[in-house]
Amino acid sequence: MRAKALSDAERAIGLKPDFAEAWLARANALDELKRHDEALVAYDKALGLYPNFPAAWHGRGNALAALKRQGEALVAYDKALTLALALGEAWLGRGLVLNALDRYHEALSAFDRAEASMPGQVAVWLRRGRAFHELDRYDEALAAYKKALSSKPNLAETLADCGKIYVRLGQPGKALIAYDRALAIEPDLKYAKVVTGTWVPGSEIVGASLLV
């Protein structure tokens, strides 16, 4: 599917080389194929043709973030948002970069804007939960994770994160329930296997004493 999208975009570019939308389509396809450096070249081509192209700035931010060029990614997301303030995906991308930079309070503000622009997105609630978790705001983290799980109950890693929070809150019974649910979905989830006592001895993972 992605290969076809790339082929279609290249065909359109062949017919009309100055068609910014075709360059954007090519860039998006390359980015989805994890060919991020090539995607950047195509995003820049689209922006050379149409500098005030919010979707291209947003895509450029995604490619830069994937390449761990976080500062440049923030610049690209900010440019997208100056052109289209309600671009929820750009707010989400900005928040993800801020999370990666341990700037959790700023990330939460970005996720709030993302939620306002595209309510009900599981990805937003998951990232909000992670930011709250890192700030030791456990009740708010749980609320965000539960919101995500209400839409997608089979998120094993998120259930395990809930288990970790219950441990921190001194609620081992709830922690075990969360870990058991995680393991029912993903039996090889290492941390959950440790704390439930099902991990094979000799693993590099430690921490079973957390529930004692």
Domain CATH code at residue 31 = 1.25.40.10
Show which of 151, 182, 203 is a domain's final residue: 151
Residue 110 has pLDDT above 90, yes or no: yes
Percentage above 90 pLDDT, the chain: 76
Query: Does the pLDDT of residue 90 top 50, yes or no?
Result: yes
Same-domain check for residues 210 and 175: yes
Average pLDDT for the chain: 89
Whether residues 126 and 179 share a domain: the answer is no
Structural domains counted in the chain = 3
The total of other beta-carbon atoms located within 10 Å of residue 138's CB is 16
Whether the pLDDT of residue 151 is over 70: the answer is yes
Question: Cα–Cα distance between 189 and 207 in angstroms, integer?
Answer: 14
Residues near 79 by beta carbon (within 8 Å), at least 6 away in sequence: 57
Q: Give the mean model confidence (pLDDT) for residues 40-48.
A: 97
All residues at 6 or more sequence positions from 197 whose CB lies less than 8 Å from its CB, including other chains: 208
4 and 78 fall within a common domain: yes
Q: What is the pLDDT of residue 207?
A: 38
- Confidence grade of residue 9 (pLDDT, cut at 50, 70, 90): confident
**Structural domain ending residue among the three candidates 36, 67, 84:** 84
Q: How many CB atoms lie within 10 A of CB 6?
A: 21
Boundary of a domain, candidates 84, 101, 129: 84
- Confidence bin at 49 (pLDDT 50/70/90): very high
Q: 33 and 63 in contact (C-beta within 8 Å)?
A: no
Average the pLDDT over 118-135 and give the result: 95
73 and 96 assigned to the same domain: no
Q: Does 168 share its domain with 193?
A: yes
Q: What is the residue range of 132's domain?
A: 88-151
Question: Is the same domain home to 70 and 108?
Answer: no
Structural tokens at position 23: 């360059």
**Rg for the chain, CA atoms, rounded:** 21
Interatomic CA distance for residues 209 and 212, integer angstroms: 5
Q: What is the pLDDT of residue 209?
A: 34
Place of tokens 């039996």: 187
Residues 12 and 78 in one domain: yes
* Calpha distance 153→36 (Å, rounded): 32
The pLDDT score that the predictor gives to residue 165 is 95
- 126 plus 139 within the same structural domain: yes
Mean pLDDT of 17-27: 93
| Same domain assignment for residues 157 and 146 | no
Q: pLDDT per residue over 166-181, tens digit each?
A: 999 999 899 999 998 9
**CA 202 to mean position of chain CA atoms:** 32
